[in-house]
């Protein structure tokens, strides 16, 4: 590179799952809370929504971090033609899991790395297909009471007991399912001069 990398690495997210994933890279980073309206645009497809929101989140904190690499990420889960979000409570989580039973759920996870100094954006979209088991209502209740996945899109925390609700996964990067595609992000960081193993 002909110029030094920006001074800071910033995660534009308050998600504990994204923070834990980024910590795996053993690179110091700061956290910033982006204020972004996450409502889809009229006619917007789920992959486009995930990409747009990932970039909007990075842009939302750019003014506060003028010399940084800012990571924005977003995930949109879809069963059939329906977007499913974070359930928020037991009733909604159980309802989501009943809707997903025996179905294929697509998780579109986007990441944007914004160089706030140059305004250069790198983006990637990773889709993971989750095949859900034919579980019973009793298994749903036991799972939701045990794992309380109320802040998890699709109500199955794959890094926890939610893995027991899954038949199989299809995709290139399992970290994308948790909320931050690290394989793509590592490539972006290397493009910006980070030394990663």
- Catalytic residue numbers read 74
Q: Would you give per-residue pLDDT tens digits along the chain (197 residues)?
A: 445 667 799 999 999 999 999 999 999 999 999 999 999 999 999 999 999 999 999 999 999 999 999 999 999 999 999 999 999 999 999 999 999 999 999 999 999 999 999 999 999 999 999 999 999 999 999 999 999 999 999 999 999 999 999 999 999 999 999 999 999 999 999 999 988 88
What CATH code would you report for 8-191?
3.90.950.10
Query: Dihedrals φ, ψ of 56, to 5°?
Result: -65, -40
Residues 6 or more apart whose Cβ sits within 8 Å of residue 119: none
CA 129 to chain CA mean position, Å: 14
Residue 157 CA to residue 107 CA, distance in Å, equals 13
Q: Where are the chain's structural domains?
A: 8-191
Residues 6 or more apart whose Cβ sits within 8 Å of residue 129: 104, 105, 106, 107, 169, 170, 171
- Max intra-chain CA distance, the chain: 60
Q: Report pTM.
A: 0.94
Looking at residue 179, the DSSP 8-state letter turns out to be T
């Amino acid at each position: 590179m002909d110029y030094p990398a920006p001074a800071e690495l910033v995660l534009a997210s308050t998600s504990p799952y994204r923070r834990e994933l980024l910590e795996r890279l053993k690179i110091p980073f700061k956290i910033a809370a982006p204020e972004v309206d996450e409502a889809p645009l009229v006619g917007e497809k789920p992959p486009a929504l995930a990409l747009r929101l990932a970039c909007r989140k990075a842009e939302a904190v750019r003014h506060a971090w003028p010399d940084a690499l800012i990571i924005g990420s977003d995930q949109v889960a879809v069963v059939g033609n329906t977007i499913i979000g974070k359930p928020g409570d037991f009733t909604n989580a159980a309802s989501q899991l009943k809707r997903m039973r025996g179905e294929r759920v697509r998780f579109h996870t986007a990441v944007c790395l914004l160089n706030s100094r140059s305004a250069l954006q790198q983006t990637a979209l990773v889709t993971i297909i989750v095949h859900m088991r034919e579980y019973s209502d009793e298994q749903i209740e036991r799972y939701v009471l045990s794992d309380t996945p109320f802040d998890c899109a699709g109500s199955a925390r794959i890094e926890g007991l939610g893995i027991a609700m899954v038949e199989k996964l299809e995709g290139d990067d399992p970290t994308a399912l948790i909320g931050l595609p690290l394989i793509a992000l590592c490539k972006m960081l290397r493009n910006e001069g980070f030394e990663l193993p």
